[in-house]
Structure 1
Amino acid sequence: MSKGTRATEALAKLGVKFTLHAYDYDPDADSIGLQAAEALGVAPKRMLKTLMAEVDGKPVCAVVPSDCEVSMKKLASAFGGKSAKMMRPSDAERLTGYHVGGISPFGQKKRVPAAIEQAALTEGSVFVNGGQRGLQIELAPDDAVKATAAIVRPLVA
């Protein structure tokens, strides 16, 4: 498995300190984030999942704990919109340049506005997808916010 991805390169370019963690990706898992948390022995609230959505038809990136569901109402509100919906997987892959199960908020092909669940900022470190299936990046939550220029809002139901 390659450890150099657009996500790791983007973080390195910004001077962000991070640690890589590889695990055996299970494509049949009900929840990719929860499977990653279990494989790495990490609390699910520290394992963040990257979701690509649309607010009023415009693409956005939401980063929330793997054991939570994003509230479409809260997501729309976070971006000053009226409605939100999940992006189709094929559209998410085309926009980010990553495959579903390996979508990272860092180093996406086309940069879109991002939001991170505010509860994640209470953790000492968080895990975010590293840009390929079976690879997680551990970093400080504040660094994740800075690297994505994310807004921090309550996003979960």
Structure 2
Amino acid sequence: MSLESVKAHFKQWNKEQDVMEFETSSATVEQAAETIGVEPARIAKTLSFRGKEEQAILVVAAGDAKIDNKKFRKSFGLKARMLSPDEVLEQTGHAVGGVCPFGLKNDLNVYLDESMKRFDTLFPACGSTNSAIELTKEELFKYSFATDWVDVCKGWQDENLDEKVALQQESH
């Protein structure tokens, strides 16, 4: 059902035929990257958080990014609390492993994390554990009806790596 709702969502732009379905699982970032043949960072993962008044907040981030609790609280005024798999299904209509910001069961706020801006195209899931679509960041913003770009992730920026290396060199 979920894959069909995503295809129906993409019909309004004549993009439903662009949804890719695989023989193998694309449920995790690593599996999706291996199945598609791209680096894990280019997998656009959709994370579901508790919002205000029982309404979920969806954050789509690069596959190598992790939520930064301080940045999340600063952006949303809430502690970053992920939904349980049952709550994710109830809020989005998609089961964990196929969660995406398309064809949603409820009208949810979708935010795109800055971690994805370094790529020309990304691969979000399409409602099942063996599907994806290749989209530019502009298309991802448009087709997900995103509210805004946010900076709520860590662990993906090269400059942090450069600082760590410099600190390590100083300490030796």
Q: Is the aligned partner of 1:88 residue 2:84?
A: yes
1:14-54 CA distance string (max 9 Å, x none): 45587333330177xxxx11211122111112111111111
Q: In structure 2, how many angstroms separate the alpha carbons of the residues matched to 1:146 and 1:76? A: 25
Match of 1:127 in 2: 123
Q: Which residue of 1 aligns with 2:165?
A: none
**2:69 alignment counterpart:** 72
Matched residue type, 1:46: R
Does residue 6 of structure 1 match 2:2?
no
For residues 26 and 150 of structure 2, the distance between their equivalents in structure 1, rounded to whole angstroms, comes to 30
Alpha-carbon displacement from aligned partner over 1:116-152 (angstroms, at most 9, x marks no partner): 1113123111100111111011111111111222211
Q: Distance in 2 between matches of 1:145 and 1:18?
A: 19
- Which residue in the other structure is 2:19 paired with? 20
Candidates 59, 62, 71, aligned match of 2:59: 62
Paired residue type of 1:20: V
Higher helix share: 2
Q: Distance in 2 between matches of 1:15 and 1:121?
A: 25
Q: C-alpha separation between the residues in 1 aligned to 2:90 and 2:149?
A: 25
Consecutive aligned runs of 4 or more in structure 1 exceeding 4 Å deviation: 15-18
Instruction: Pick which of 90-99 and 9-18 moved more.
Output: 9-18
Going from structure 1 to structure 2, the CA distance change for 1:26 and 1:60 (only over 3 Å counts) comes to closer
Matched residue count: 151
Specify the SS of the correspondent of 2:20. strand
Give distance in 1, aligned partners of 2:117 and 2:17: 16
Query: 2: distance between equivalents of 1:38 and 1:119?
Result: 20
Q: Distance in 2 between matches of 1:82 and 1:152?
A: 17
The Cα of 1:99 is off from its aligned counterpart by 1.2
Whole-Å Cα distance in 2 between the matches of residues 139 and 131 of structure 1?
15
Aligned match of 1:138: 134
Aligned partner of 1:97 in structure 2 is: 93
Name the Cα RMSD after superposition: 2.4
> TM-score when scaled to structure 1?
0.83
Match of 1:37 in 2: 33
How far off its partner does 1:63 sit? 0.6
CA distance in 1, matches of 2:103, 2:71: 25
